[in-house]
Every structure is written in structure tokens, then in C-alpha cells.
């Protein structure tokens, strides 16, 4: 029996105050009220300790309050906090130079810094339309690209993101994501499912719905995040890159959740051997400081002065945090994601053998999805059981977040140790058993 967390009076009081003034639109997972954190550990306001396997939705890549990141923030705050994007400062330039260096294409990059993932996507949409002179796009079912009006028009993971907000931005058609575990299309004999999806885009979407010469870009998460931590079929990206090249369509990779070393490479798309034209980044880029980036090939970033901008772009404190974050990932934590990620995958496959409710364990690096099913043969999603596992994790000192219809995502800080993985997976194994017996 593991030690259970007792929700205390401080947490309950703060939650009551929150309910009186904070927007009801926020999707709170469970009543965790944070006080402080260090590395992969967090404590609530009543002194309960938790292991964090969610990392603020894959954001605190270097762990909570890493001393090097904290020092960078403090030093910059003592100099100046804001100057606006009308002027220049060294941290903004240095970070842009670093992002150019690690961009997942050979060509030089142009960098537009933002405040969030959804803003990075909005910038990519605008640049794609401006550069190509085209208006149409292809997105994917299950995708999450943000909640602002352009980005949410591509988002297709839950209908609540659209309900009450129509009409959305026009010009977006969705294709099935290349999920070979739950395919929506029927492959031809000997055809990789990823090739099947690209053939569908070519024949059905471009052949019946929108002329290819009107398509500005195809926007895709190299590994789907909110849609279920789904890794695409291996033949997908080479075929998609070829389709884009044949029709002059920009390939836009949304790496907001999958980028910045989380999969063991700077960018998840690097696992698939193709180069995108535009990359959207945020989340893990600055260890929790609000920052994003739209990274484009220099030949694509052709818009003129004044075509796009933002007040807080290149915020000096966020840039300082990002430079420290990237340094830590480059020197240590990206390789740790490879090593500890494989260790976790091996351990999860062993846990899977004890739990018939686990249909699939999938992922790369420390971007791992555990998909729960009602029946291993039909692969019908076990949504209620997944949600119960999430709740029981919290009650037993483990922070987890669901995604997709029936998946628990494991996205801890990239700094996590194998000992902490062992501790967390012991709880995970235990609460799965509790959930299975209670359903």
C-alpha cells in the first residue's frame, strides 16, 4: 500500500477563491495546488510531495526551478525586464542565432519569437499565406495547435474547442493522422499506412476538394500530442515531403510539445528523415517562462517590415531562460531523454504484461503514451479507466495527464533520473491495478 495524499485545508481554501474569480474555461485535471518544486518533484500548499510526470504539459524541460535557469532569470531581471520589439537587445539576438543553429533544415533560418505555442502557429499560418500567395491548408484529425482563432481552426482533437466559436477561419481541410494502431483508412496490399494517408490527401483532398495550387501549407505535429501521443507510420513523412515538393506546398511542423529535445533529438521530425519548411516551437523552450518561436527557412521568411509583430516578442527574461535551457538540454538532458526514455519504455512494456487494459505503449525519448483499451483485440478506447488512472495517480502522489480518448502521457522533465522513473512507475503500476479492479 502506497501513502495516499490528503487534500488539505490550504488547497481547499485556494480552490474556493479560484472558483470565484478565475475563468471557468480552464480544464483543471484534479485539485493540485502547487507551492514549490525542484527537479521532478513538486509539493502542494499542504506539504504533500508528488513526482511530476507531466512537467506542466511538457514545459519544464530542465525540471522545476533549475538553478542555472533561475540564475539567468534573476541576472536579466536586474538589468531590464522589457523594452518591446521596436528595439534590439543581445539576448534576443543570441537566442535567435541558437535557434538558427539547431533548426531541422540545412538552410539558414529566420526566427520570429512569440509568447506561446498558439501564437507560433498563428505566425506560421500568416507567413505561409504571405509567402505562397495561397489561402488553403491541410490539417489532421486529432491535432492540437492552440485555441486562438487561426490555430483552433486546425485543432481537431475535441469538439469543445470549436463549440460556440463558429465560424472558424476558412480554408482548412482535415485528413486522418497516420495512426497505424487505429487506422481510419484501408491500405492497399503491401502499402505502409503512412503512404495510405498521403495517397488519400493526394487523391481525395487535392483531387476532389482543393486544387493543390491553392494550398499554402500542410500543418502537422510530427508526434501528435493532445491527440494521444501518436507516433506516425514510418512511411508517412517521406511521402508527405514528396507531395509538398511536387505541389509547392510548405510543410509546417508543429513541434510545440514534441520539440526541444523531448524525443531525444532537438525536433521530433528529425526521427523521420525529412526537413520541414517552418517549425513552431514553445513549451519546453524556456523551462516554464512564456516563450515561443516560429522558425522558417530564410527563403520562406519573405514578409516585409511591419507585416507581423508583437509587443512582448523577444522578452529579455524569457530569452535568458531559454538560452540557459537550451544549454542544459544540449550538454546533458537531450541524451538523458534518450537513455531514461528507453529505460521507461522497457519498464512500461513489462508493466503492460500485467495489465490487459494497456493496449499500446508508444513514443520516443521522454514523450511516451500509454493507451488503455476495453479489449486488446478491438482496441476500443477505455476512456473512463484512463481518467480513473489519472485521478488515482494524483491521490497516490504522481502527477499524470491524459490525452487522446484513452491515453496517459508520460512527459516528465528531461532531467528525470532512472530512480525517479522507478518510483513513479511503481505508483503507476499500482493505480492501474486499482482502476482495473474498480471498473
User: Are residues 174 and 59 both part of a single domain?
Assistant: no
Nearest partner of 398 among 358, 357, 429, judged by Cα:
429
pLDDT in tens, the chain (439 residues): 567 788 899 999 999 999 999 999 999 999 999 999 999 999 999 999 999 999 999 999 999 999 999 999 999 999 999 999 999 999 999 999 999 999 999 999 999 999 999 999 999 999 999 999 999 999 999 999 999 999 999 999 999 999 999 999 999 999 999 999 999 999 999 999 999 999 999 999 999 999 999 999 999 999 999 999 999 999 999 999 999 999 999 999 999 999 999 999 999 999 999 999 999 999 999 999 999 999 999 999 999 999 999 999 999 999 999 999 999 999 999 999 999 999 999 999 999 999 999 999 999 999 999 999 999 999 999 999 999 999 999 999 999 999 999 999 999 999 999 999 999 999 999 999 999 998 7
Q: What is the CATH number of the domain that holds 281?
A: 3.40.640.10
In this structure, is residue 77 part of a structural domain?
no
**What is the per-residue pLDDT for 3?**
72
For residue 324, being part of any structural domain is answered with: no
What is the spatial order of strands in the sheet that 358-364 belongs to?
A: 358-364, 367-372, 407-410, 401-403
pLDDT of residue 1: 55
> Could you list the residue range(s) of the whole structural domain that residue 178 is in?
83-314
Question: Looking at 365-438, which runs of residues are DSSP E strands?
Answer: 367-372, 398-399, 401-403, 407-410
- Give the count of beta carbons closer than 10 Å to the beta carbon of residue 272: 19
pLDDT given at position 7: 86
Q: Same domain for 197 and 253?
A: yes
Residue closest to 363 by CA, chosen among 348, 385, 379: 348
Helix 334-354 to helix 418-438 angle (10° resolution) is: 30
pLDDT of residue 336: 98
Q: Is-above-0.95 flag for pTM?
A: yes
Same domain, 233 and 291: yes
Pair (303, 350) in one structural domain? no
Cβ proximity of 233 and 193 under 8 Å: yes
Written as one string, the DSSP assignment of 233-265 is: PTTHHHHHHHHHHHHT-EEEEE-TTTTTTTTSS
Q: Is the peptide bond before 283 cis (omega within 30 degrees of 0)?
A: no
* The last residue of a domain, from among 284, 314, 344: 314
Q: For residue 75, is it within any domain?
A: no
Task: Give me 294's grid cell.
Answer: 516560429
The CA distances from residue 179 to 176, 231, 427, in Å, are 8, 7, 29
Rounded CA-CA distance 387/399 in Å is 13
Q: How many domains does the chain have?
A: 2
> CATH number of the domain that 378 lies in?
3.90.1150.10
Is the residue at 4 inside a domain? no
User: What pLDDT, on a 0 to 100 scale, did the predictor assign at position 348?
Assistant: 98
Residue 211, classified by CB atoms within 10 Å of its CB into exposed (0-12), middle (13-18) or buried (19+), is: exposed
Q: Which residues of 164-193 are buried (b: 16+ CB within 10 A; e: fewer)?
A: eeeeeeebbebbbbbbbbbeeeebeeeebb
Under 8 Å between Cβ of 58 and 399: no
- Around Cβ 321, how many Cβ atoms within 10 Å? 28
Based on the fold, state whether residues 296 and 386 are members of the same structural domain: no
Q: Is 343 exposed, middle or buried (0-12, 13-18, 19+ CB in 10 A)?
A: middle
User: What's the rounded Cα separation, in Å, for the pair 132 and 86?
Assistant: 27
Residue 268 covered by a domain: yes
Q: Is 103 within the bounds of a domain?
A: yes
Amino acid at each position: 500500500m502506497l501513502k495516499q495524499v490528503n487534500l488539505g485545508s490550504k488547497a481547499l481554501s485556494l480552490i474556493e477563491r479560484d472558483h470565484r474569480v478565475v475563468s471557468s474555461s480552464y480544464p483543471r485535471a484534479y485539485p493540485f495546488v502547487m507551492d514549490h518544486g525542484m527537479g521532478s518533484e513538486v509539493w502542494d500548499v499542504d506539504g504533500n510531495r508528488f513526482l511530476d510526470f507531466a512537467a506542466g504539459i511538457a514545459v519544464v524541460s530542465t525540471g522545476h526551478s533549475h538553478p542555472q535557469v533561475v540564475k539567468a532569470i534573476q541576472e536579466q531581471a536586474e538589468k531590464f525586464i522589457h523594452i518591446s520589439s521596436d528595439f534590439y537587445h543581445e539576448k534576443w539576438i543570441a537566442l535567435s542565432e541558437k535557434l538558427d543553429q539547431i533548426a531541422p533544415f540545412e538552410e539558414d533560418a529566420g526566427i520570429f519569437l512569440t509568447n506561446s505555442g498558439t501564437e507560433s502557429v498563428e505566425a506560421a499560418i500568416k507567413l505561409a499565406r504571405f509567402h505562397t500567395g495561397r489561402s488553403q491548408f491541410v490539417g489532421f484529425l486529432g491535432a492540437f495547435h492552440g485555441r486562438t482563432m487561426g490555430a483552433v481552426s486546425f485543432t481537431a482533437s475535441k469538439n469543445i474547442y470549436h463549440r460556440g466559436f463558429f465560424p472558424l477561419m476558412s480554408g482548412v481541410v482535415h485528413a486522418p493522422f497516420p495512426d497505424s494502431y487505429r487506422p481510419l483508412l484501408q491500405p492497399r496490399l503491401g502499402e505502409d499506412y503512412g503512404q495510405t494517408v498521403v495517397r488519400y490527401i493526394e487523391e481525395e483532398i487535392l483531387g476532389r476538394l482543393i486544387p493543390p495550387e491553392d494550398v499554402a501549407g500542410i500543418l502537422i505535429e510530427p508526434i501528435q500530442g493532445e491527440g494521444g501521443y501518436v507516433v506516425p507510420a514510418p512511411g508517412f513523412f517521406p511521402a508527405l515531403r514528396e507531395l509538398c515538393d511536387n505541389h509547392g506546398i510548405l510543410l509546417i511542423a508543429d513541434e510545440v510539445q514534441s520539440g526541444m529535445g523531448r524525443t531525444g533529438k532537438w525536433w521530433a521530425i528529425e526521427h523521420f528523415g525529412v526537413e520541414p519548411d517552418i517549425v513552431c516551437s514553445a513549451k519546453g523552450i524556456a523551462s516554464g517562462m512564456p516563450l515561443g518561436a516560429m522558425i522558417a527557412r530564410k527563403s520562406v521568411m519573405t514578409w516585409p517590415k511591419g507585416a507581423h509583430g508583437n509587443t512582448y516578442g523577444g522578452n529579455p527574461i524569457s530569452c535568458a531562460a531559454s538560452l540557459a535551457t537550451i544549454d542544459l538540454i544540449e550538454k546533458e538532458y537531450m541524451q538523458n531523454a534518450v537513455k531514461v526514455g528507453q529505460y521507461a519504455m522497457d519498464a512500461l512494456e513489462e508493466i503492460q504484461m500485467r495489465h490487459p487494459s494497456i493496449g499500446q505503449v508508444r513514443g520516443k525519448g521522454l514523450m511516451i503514451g500509454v493507451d488503455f483499451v476495453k479489449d486488446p483485440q478491438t482496441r476500443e478506447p477505455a476512456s473512463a479507466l484512463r481518467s480513473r488512472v489519472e485521478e488515482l495517480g494524483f491521490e497516490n502522489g504522481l502527477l499524470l495527464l491524459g490525452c487522446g480518448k484513452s491515453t496517459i502521457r508520460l512527459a516528465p522533465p528531461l532531467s528525470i533520473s532512472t530512480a525517479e522513473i522507478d518510483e513513479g512507475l511503481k505508483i503507476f503500476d499500482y493505480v492501474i491495478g486499482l482502476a482495473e479492479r474498480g471498473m
